[in-house]
A = this chain, B = another copy of it.
Amino acid sequence: MPRIVDHEERRKRLVEAVWALSFRGGIEQVTLRKVADEAGVSMGQVQHYYPSMQALVRDALERAVQAVNATIEDAVRAAGATDPETLLRACLYALVSPAEESLRLMRFGLAAAGRAASDPTMARLLAPGDDDLITFTAGLLSEARRERGGEPRGTEHLDADICWSVTLALGVDIALGHRSPDAAKALLDHHIEQVLDPERPAQHAAADCGK
């Protein structure tokens, strides 16, 4: 019947405006008017697609989470059918990537997490999906250990959980500018080494893992 437009495209554009604004001046700069300006549209359009500001920010967060997850899945797909260790590294690296897009997402994610600290409905968006990811990672850990000649330790699930915790913390550090992506990657490498091959002492003296 009526005029038909691509809703998805509009929402995406608006959400990207939110990300951009938040990246530049913090989530507090995300207002109806500024989002409209950044997206090059009118306030009316923003209101047309989102009933409230909260809904906009929520959707922006949801899409940010999806985008990060997509980054990980892309990494898996790109790695293809290599050894599990390479795959594992590829997954984890996705969160400490120096790519600008990744940085934008992490920054917004952190800002949103700040809000989520006292907004349960937002916190839920940041919650781990269904720990499929952890289970998948645990599988990789298990295989990677076997490939290195180690025996299974039965703690893969916990180890995977910790792996992601470390990675997330490093991502936060990067977002805050406390660590360079390189330094984070180096530290992450050390941890992976430790997890995969606990017995081996220090091997690569780790050029610099400093800040």
Contact = CB atoms under 8 A, between A and B. Distances in A.
A201 interface: yes
A198 B187 contact: no
Contact of A178 (B22, B111, B123): B123
B115 A111 contact: yes
A63 interface: no
Contacts of A168: 169, 172
Copies of this protein in the assembly total: 2
B209 A176 contact: no
A2 interface: no
7 contacts: A27-B115, A107-B117, A114-B114, A114-B115, A127-B176, A155-B206, A158-B187
Contacts of A153: 201-202
Contacts of A131: 211
Interface residues of A, number: 57
A119 B176 contact: no
A120 B175 CA distance: 11
A26 B157 CA distance: 33
A165 B35 CA distance: 35
A46 to B, nearest CB: 19
Interface string A132-168: 0000000000000000000101110111011001101
Given A154-B201, A162-B190, A117 B111 contact: yes
